[in-house]
Amino acid sequence: MNRGPVIFLGAFSAMALSWVGLIVQPQLQLGRSPQTTNTLNPVELYPQARSGLAQQGLQVYRSLGCATCHSQQVRQDGTVFDVALTSLGTNIAELVQAVQKVNPALSPAEAGKLVDMTPQIVLRGVDQATADTAVTNLSVGGAKAAAQLVALGPDLARGWGSGRSVAADYLFDQPVQLGAQRIGPDLANVGLRLPGRAWHFHHLYDPKAVVPKSVMPPYRFLFEKRKRGPQPSLDALALDGPSPRFDAGGTRTNWTSPDALKLSAGLAVPGGDELVPTDDAQSFVAYLLSLRADVSLFERPLSVVPPKPTAQATSATAAAVPLPAR
């Protein structure tokens, strides 16, 4: 009896199930999803397509295989809730008692200090039910409180993002470059973290000049050497001057000559020349700067840091802390 066809058909249908389950079904769920709505600013649709230059930069990113070492996915372990007082109402004494009831760890003096000004976080790191109860308990004498969500996880603590990456972030990326390794840091929000173009140009040309212990290879072929004209070219990395210093946002702080870069030993280029980023480098950096997923979505509610407390403790002027979607 020839069982070949039976075995073949049986096994083939068994395996084809995975095709249906992992390609057809996700395509129905994700592949046609439209832009989604920002939960904080419902007028704004998310994501917006990247600029043309940034889209060209994505092709440079793909072609150089940057995804071999860099991921673009931020993970999140979980969420907790903070409870903030947003307005104090009229009965401060009752509010102090309510605050103490909500957060028994506070001494009356501390509780009293907390109700001095708004918005002020009175309870940190609790689950949603506790936060909701606290919000109810704090609504005494016209006082108002709001629960706000805080996303947790080592990636977020590193400053790689304010919430986890979700499928919607990549809607317009063609091809999407998720990456599977973190030999270099995650780049999902590099545009937020390091918004300085000059920093990126210097880092691409000579990573060690900017990040001394970096193991990233230099991308010198993204720059061309030109004879220096009367004026430096736009974005040119001048070759003399002190080593560049950047603030946390990647903006040059020591401006002696435009974009001067002190290159590490062995990379110096003879004087009289300047290094100019090629079109590829320009679009590449535009792409890096476009990497920012800082929009609050239904599936990725972002915590909103309340504005700095002010001494004017009147409820009328207190800024409202937006309530994140659950």
From the list 41, 63, 254, 256, which residue makes contact with another protein (rule: CB under 8 A)?
A: 63
From the list 57, 119, 196, 207, which residue makes contact with another protein (rule: CB under 8 A)?
A: 207
- Phi/psi of residue 324, nearest 5 degrees: -70, 155
| Cβ-based neighbours of 12, under 8 Å, separated by 6 or more | none
Q: Which of these, 296, 293, 318, lies nearest to 307 by C-alpha position?
A: 318
DSSP category for residue 317: G
Q: If binding is defined by CB under 8 A, does position 254 make contact with another protein? A: no
User: Is 233 in contact with 268 (CB distance < 8 Å)?
Assistant: no
From the list 40, 92, 121, 176, which residue makes contact with another protein (rule: CB under 8 A)?
A: 176
The structure tokens listed for 82 are 């903070």
Q: If binding is defined by CB under 8 A, does position 262 make contact with another protein? A: no
The span of 25-33, 98-106, 239-247, 314-322 binding another protein (CB under 8 A) equals 25-33
**H/E element, 80:** strand 78-87
- How open is the CA angle 73-74-77, to the nearest 5 degrees? 135
DSSP category for residue 159: T
Q: If binding is defined by CB under 8 A, does position 154 make contact with another protein? A: yes
The span of 89-97, 102-110, 171-179, 302-310 binding another protein (CB under 8 A) equals 171-179
From the list 178, 269, 313, 319, which residue makes contact with another protein (rule: CB under 8 A)?
A: 178
- Name the minimum Å distance from CB 105 to another protein: 24
Nearest residue (CB) to another protein, 218 versus 301: 218
Q: If binding is defined by CB under 8 A, does position 78 make contact with another protein? A: no
Rounded CA-CA distance 99/121 in Å is 10
The span of 65-73, 136-144, 301-309, 317-325 binding another protein (CB under 8 A) equals 65-73
From the list 48, 107, 181, 256, which residue makes contact with another protein (rule: CB under 8 A)?
A: 181
Site size for another protein (CB under 8 A): 76
Is the N-terminal amide bond of 175 cis, ω within 30° of 0? Answer: yes
User: Is 277 in contact with 201 (CB distance < 8 Å)?
Assistant: yes
User: Is 145 in contact with 84 (CB distance < 8 Å)?
Assistant: yes
28-57 residues in contact with another protein (CB under 8 A) are 29-33
Q: If binding is defined by CB under 8 A, does position 125 make contact with another protein? A: no
Nearest residue (CB) to another protein, 159 versus 249: 159
From the list 40, 167, 304, 313, which residue makes contact with another protein (rule: CB under 8 A)?
A: 167
The span of 18-26, 102-110, 283-291, 308-316 binding another protein (CB under 8 A) equals 18-26
User: Is 116 in contact with 64 (CB distance < 8 Å)?
Assistant: no
List 252's β-bridge partners, or say none: 246
266-285 residues in contact with another protein (CB under 8 A) are 266-267
From the list 42, 78, 104, 217, which residue makes contact with another protein (rule: CB under 8 A)?
A: 217
- Name the minimum Å distance from CB 65 to another protein: 2
The span of 24-32, 89-97, 108-116, 138-146 binding another protein (CB under 8 A) equals 24-32
Q: Give me the residue label for tokens 């990497």.
A: 291
User: Is 185 in contact with 70 (CB distance < 8 Å)?
Assistant: yes
Q: If binding is defined by CB under 8 A, does position 326 make contact with another protein? A: no
From the list 81, 170, 201, 287, which residue makes contact with another protein (rule: CB under 8 A)?
A: 170
- Name the minimum Å distance from CB 320 to another protein: 31
- Name the minimum Å distance from CB 185 to another protein: 5
The structure tokens listed for 114 are 């907390």
Rounded CA-CA distance 199/189 in Å is 15
Q: Which of these, 48, 52, 49, 53, lies nearest to 284 by C-alpha position?
A: 53
List 84's β-bridge partners, or say none: 121, 146
